[in-house]
């Protein structure tokens, strides 16, 4: 599907907003307005360009804080010229974000609204505050709904578009299917657990996917653990394929191989991997103990 993650419309909206803000920056009378509006334009353009690369995650602290800080600076520096921008706070709250940034944006909105009391007059100031509060509550409810949808989607969809990387919930369903396959086809199926630093997970998946069959997948179990289901004709071929996968990874990776007939508890195997000393541990079936 060409726009599987529905980013096309959002990207277009960001670019339109960037064009409007850029036009406002060009026609600004004060240099401080031009700088702040120009920075806003750059933020919108970069966000729209990087949006399809969702796995790169433009969610570093400064990037999340920048639009709110720029808006607060604009309203604080020249409220008489940019009073209409106060309604943008409601739009900022609609963007999915961590709770602490929602709290910060709410606090900045309250501060900038309070600073307008002399400019608006008592009655208009209170009315603007009530309307802004209502719109912000609506934006917050929208943000919570989007995050709930995103959470549900991540539990059933690929974590990276076009890559065989799935969430843990998918692995728990696939284990039952592959157990039935191994019994029905007398195939050798094993779960390979890999422990590596979080920053190295995506590069590792990028290398692993070239060694997986089209019917095999990789799973992200937590910030430091990946799982791979290897399906082979027999144990000998499974050992060869496992070694090729491990050779493609860095030497610091800790691995644990469990044939599905020997897998009793996925949680127990993950805990054992975290305490494991050797770089590779292969679980043997009881008949070979």
Residues 159-218: pLDDT tens digits? 555 566 778 778 878 888 888 877 788 888 888 898 888 788 788 888 888 888 877 788
CB 261 within 8 A of CB 182: yes
Confidence of residue 57 (pLDDT cuts 50, 70, 90): very low
Which residue from 228, 143, 241 is spatially nearest to 194, judged by alpha carbons? 228
The mean pLDDT value for 17-33 works out to 83
The mean pLDDT value for 12-19 works out to 83
Report how far residue 173's alpha carbon sits from residue 227's, in angstroms, rounded to the nearest whole number: 13
Q: Which range, of 37-41, 105-109, 116-120, averages the lowest pLDDT? A: 116-120
Q: Per residue in 87-99, is it b (16+ CB within 10 Å) or e — as a string?
A: ebbbebbbbbbee
Structure confidence at residue 51 (pLDDT): 66
Structure confidence at residue 162 (pLDDT): 54
DSSP string covering 127-172: HHHHHHHHHHHHHHHHHHHHHHHHHHHHTTS-SSTTS-EEEHHHHH
Structure confidence at residue 150 (pLDDT): 60
CB 167 within 8 A of CB 155: yes
Fold held by 165-288: Alpha-Beta Plaits (3.30.70)
Residue 186 vs residue 158, higher pLDDT: 186
The crossing angle, in degrees rounded to 10, of helices 122-154 and 99-114 is 170
Residue 183's SS3 state is: helix
Only one residue has tokens 């195997």, namely 269
Structure confidence at residue 152 (pLDDT): 53
Residue 234 vs residue 181, higher pLDDT: 234
Above 50 in pLDDT, residue 224? yes
Q: Establish how many alpha carbons lie within 13 A of residue 244's alpha carbon, considering only the half-sphere containing its beta carbon.
A: 12
If one counts every other C-beta atom within 10 angstroms of the C-beta of residue 188, the result is: 20
| Average pLDDT value for the chain | 78
Structure tokens at 20: 């409007």
Confidence of residue 79 (pLDDT cuts 50, 70, 90): confident
CB 202 within 8 A of CB 194: no
Above 50 in pLDDT, residue 33? yes
The mean pLDDT value for 246-272 works out to 85
What whole-number percentage of the chain has pLDDT above 90? 0
Sorted by where each begins, the domain ranges of the chain are 8-154, 165-288
Structure confidence at residue 281 (pLDDT): 82
Structure confidence at residue 140 (pLDDT): 81
Structure confidence at residue 166 (pLDDT): 79
Residue 264's SS3 state is: coil
Indicate whether this model's pTM tops 0.85. no
Non-local (6+) Cβ contacts of 188 within 8 A are 182, 231, 232, 233, 234, 235, 237, 238, 259
Only one residue has tokens 């050798």, namely 188
The mean pLDDT value for 4-28 works out to 77
Q: Establish how many alpha carbons lie within 13 A of residue 259's alpha carbon, considering only the half-sphere containing its beta carbon.
A: 21
Q: Which range, of 85-99, 139-153, 198-212, 258-272, averages the lowest pLDDT? A: 139-153
Query: N- to C-terminal Cα distance for the chain?
Result: 48
Which residue from 82, 95, 64 is spatially nearest to 21, judged by alpha carbons? 82
């Amino acid at each position: 599907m060409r726009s599987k993650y529905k980013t096309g419309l959002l990207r277009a909206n960001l670019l339109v907003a960037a064009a409007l803000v850029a036009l406002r920056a060009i026609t600004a009378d004060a240099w401080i307005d031009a700088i702040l509006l120009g920075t806003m334009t750059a933020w919108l353009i970069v966000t729209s360009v990087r949006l399809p690369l969702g796995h790169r995650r433009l969610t570093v602290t400064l990037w999340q804080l920048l639009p709110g800080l720029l808006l607060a600076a604009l309203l604080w520096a020249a409220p008489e010229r940019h009073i209409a921008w106060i309604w943008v706070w409601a739009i900022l709250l609609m963007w999915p974000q961590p709770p602490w940034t929602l709290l910060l944006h709410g606090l900045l909105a309250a501060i900038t609204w309070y600073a307008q009391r002399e400019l608006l007059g008592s009655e208009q100031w209170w009315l603007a505050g009530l309307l802004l509060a209502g719109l912000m509550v609506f934006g917050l409810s929208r943000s919570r709904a989007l995050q709930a949808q995103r959470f549900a989607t991540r539990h059933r969809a690929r974590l990276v578009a076009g890559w065989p990387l799935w969430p843990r919930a998918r692995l728990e369903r696939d284990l039952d299917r592959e157990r039935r396959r191994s019994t029905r086809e007398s195939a050798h199926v094993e779960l390979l657990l890999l422990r590596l630093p979080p920053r190295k997970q995506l590069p590792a998946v990028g290398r692993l996917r070239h060694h997986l069959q089209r019917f095999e997948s990789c799973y992200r179990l937590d910030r430091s653990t990946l799982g791979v289901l290897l399906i082979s004709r027999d144990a000998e071929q499974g050992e060869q394929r496992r070694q090729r996968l491990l050779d493609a990874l860095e030497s610091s990776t800790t691995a644990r191989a469990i044939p599905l007939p020997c897998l009793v508890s996925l949680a127990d195997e993950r805990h054992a991997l975290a305490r494991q000393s050797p770089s590779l541990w292969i679980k043997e079936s009881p008949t070979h103990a």
